[in-house]
Amino acid sequence: MRTTTTFVAGALVATVAQAQVVQWDIVKRQNAPNKLTRRQANTFTEVITNEKLRGGYFATCQVGTPAQNLTLQLDTGSSDIWVPSSSASVCEQSGDDGCSFGSFDENSSTTMEVVGEGEFSISYVDGSSSKGDYITDRFEIGGATLDNMTMGLGLRTDIPYGLVGVGYALNEAIVANTQSASESYDNLPVLLQKQGLINTNAYSLWLNDLDANTGSILFGGIDTEKYQGDLTRINIYKDSSSQAFTSFTVAMTSLQAVSSTGSDSLSSSSFPIPVVLDSGTTFSYLPTDLAEQVWREVGAEYYPQYGVPLLPCNMENSAGHFSFGFGGSGGPVINVTMDELVVSLADGDPYTFPSGQYSGQAACQFGLQNFSSSTYLLGDTFLRSAYVVYDLVNNEIALAPTDFNATDSNVVAFPSDGAQIPSATAAPNQAEVTQSGSLTTPTYGASGGFKDDDASAASMLLPGFDWSQITVMGVSMGLMMVGSGFFLL
């Protein structure tokens, strides 16, 4: 999960009014000062930072008494809050190699209590991990203070920042460690409801586009000005082993490639595909048979020695897009354009293809990658194009196309515990979703359009580079945020 990326500091904008809604705004700012502003009734607003290259979304929070500022990654794919201890070896390093987003000095907080010594342990699929104690302490988001918030304290960690997990309580690390649902505790969204800050355990996510400065996660409500068209509800599926709701898994039932030369319905033997909507994952991971069709459509080249598909960076100018369908016919459809799918390899000088059809052109990663798991991930490269409402009480998700860079706001709170998602209708044919996928070869009629759309974009010829660096940069970046959604115990 660690890279050489320089992080961007986030500003704090907090608003406190009546209960029912808590909102974090996503703002991409560098070295911005903290400030408080009043906004509108029933909202709490906190700035979180869109770290473009790393792909995560980070919030400045306050922990302990007196309050200590830490910037933590927001993650819909996990369920624990955890913070790195100032005594962790990774935090004792200097500069960007250390905990530049802050660490927690547990000995300086008068309200911290250890409630599970040595019981916190989480390991991510990229090999990184964090271990230590479970603690309770004061936790503040957007001016709303939660007392006795249970958190993990990373005493032995190789991850230089912590996370704010907002998933199901049954996905907490301690539940998996002990194999006991009774060990679950009130995590952030549950405690927000129990302390009367929101009416029900639900929230909506608006990440905005890749280069945007603003976006938000809104607990307890939706913002009708942040999406286009109508919200459509689809079912969340239970974990096949535990038969419990542990992750935001939904049925992806179609994928189309669309360009100026035509459209292709892409296929997979895995349709309908179980996909987890996970803000803690940088890229999106599809079955290999489907991912290979996507790569051929856009001309991405897969490098097995590095484990990533690459394509020219100027493909971000292509007018082609991919249409993701969910919940069967009549379900929500989200279009993802190429400018959301072409991701830089580094924040310094661009890398270039050393040979082949793209020789001399700047190389970027492609945001749709392959994965061998039976549960696949739609991360930030997908989520930026969707307005997503997570309802953890009714076990539903509502989707609509995002309204990029919207400036208006109309917040509608869930009226009560267990209320349906406001302004949303159910997908009409979810009962038809069955395991009936088959693999067929598309005509690739859209492929020429992806490339033709980009033909007028000038390709800058740049000096070559040592492609062995991709072993670190490519593979690390490809996995760096998957861990926050799925952990190994």
Q: Which residues contact 98 (CB under 8 A, 6 or more apart)?
A: 90, 91, 92, 160
Q: What is the DSSP letter of 168?
A: -
Surface-to-core class of residue 407, CB atoms within 10 Å of its CB (0-12 exposed, 13-18 middle, 19+ buried)? exposed
Nearest to 12 by CA among 144, 134, 125: 144
Question: The tokens of 292 are what?
Answer: 């290979």
With beta carbons less than 8 A apart as the criterion, state whether 57 and 25 touch. Answer: no
Q: Which residues are catalytic?
A: 75, 278
> Is the bond preceding residue 415 a cis peptide, omega within 30 degrees?
no
Q: Which residues contact 193 (CB under 8 A, 6 or more apart)?
A: 199, 200, 201, 220, 417
Using CA atoms, how far apart are residues 244 and 434, in angstroms rounded to an integer?
Answer: 20
3-state SS class at 485: coil
Q: What is the DSSP letter of 87?
A: T
Using CA atoms, how far apart are residues 444 and 177, in angstroms rounded to an integer?
Answer: 46
How far from 231 is each of 234, 352, 386, CA to CA, in Å?
10, 41, 10
Question: The tokens of 173 are what?
Answer: 């690390």
